[in-house]
Chain A
Amino acid sequence: EPEVTQTPSHQVTQMGQEVILRCVPISNHLYFYWYRQILGQKVEFLVSFYNNEISEKSEIFDDQFSVERPDGSNFTLKIRSTKLEDSAMYFCASTLPPADTQYFGPGTRLTVL
């Protein structure tokens, strides 16, 4: 069964460094999403991406964040200058319209020291 994959599973970085989190959505899906979950808190929407542009973004998704689909398979989330409070699990998800069921990848645990 097709699934969303994410790499790396765990990323440790120093505060102020740039990180790129990678996702490979399900191959025929068209909408892509990033979410984050701070330890012990709820899953929060960051951004949705369709047709090579951002569809919607939350208040969390500020200028430190960017997304890109550099080729036909990868979908990346870049954090330009990480802060301690960026430490969280980051989940990628995808869906194929007209269905709107989102399928989640296993997540990347980001630890900012």
Chain B
Amino acid sequence: QKEVEQNSGPLSVPEGAIASLNCTYSDRGSQSFFWYRQYSGKSPELIMSIYSNGDKEDGRFTAQLNKASQYVSLLIRDSQPSDSATHLCAVNSLADGLTFGKGTHLIIQP
């Protein structure tokens, strides 16, 4: 059974600060890792993907992957009020569906 674990939060971060979100997964065969953002009542929106160990940066976002530790993280720099949402970690292989964590509720305090 594939599992993805996230701290549900809420995680409260001042505007302009760095938000750090973490995720662990159980299936060592997982090959693709994603961070999605979900506003209340809306569908998941892709933030970024990562496939190789190390860091991947895209604008204010940096994803980090450590396959040996089965750990994925997302750093959000210069946090904005629009970042206030539930952030979902997801893992998959192509034919399989995504396995999602429950998400971390992030609150950016103005």
Q: Measuring CB to CB, which residues of chain A are less than 8 angstroms from any residue of chain B?
A: 31, 33, 35, 41-48, 50, 55-56, 58, 89, 91, 93, 95, 97-98, 100-107
Contacts and interface: CB of A to CB of B under 8 A. Distances in A.
Contacts of B96: 45, 48, 56
The A interface, classified by DSSP as helix, strand, loop or mixed, is: strand
Interface of B: 32, 34, 36, 38, 41-46, 49, 88, 90, 92-103
B97 A48 contact: yes
Contacts, number: 63
B78 to A, nearest CB: 25
A79 B43 CA distance: 21
10 nearest CB pairs, A to B: A45-B97, A104-B43, A43-B100, A55-B95, A42-B102, A107-B43, A100-B94, A42-B100, A104-B44, A100-B32
A43 B95 contact: no
Given A42-B103, A43-B88, A103 B46 contact: yes
A56 B97 contact: yes
Given A42-B103, A43-B44, A43-B88, A102 B98 contact: yes
Given A41-B102, A100-B92, A101-B49, A46 B97 contact: yes
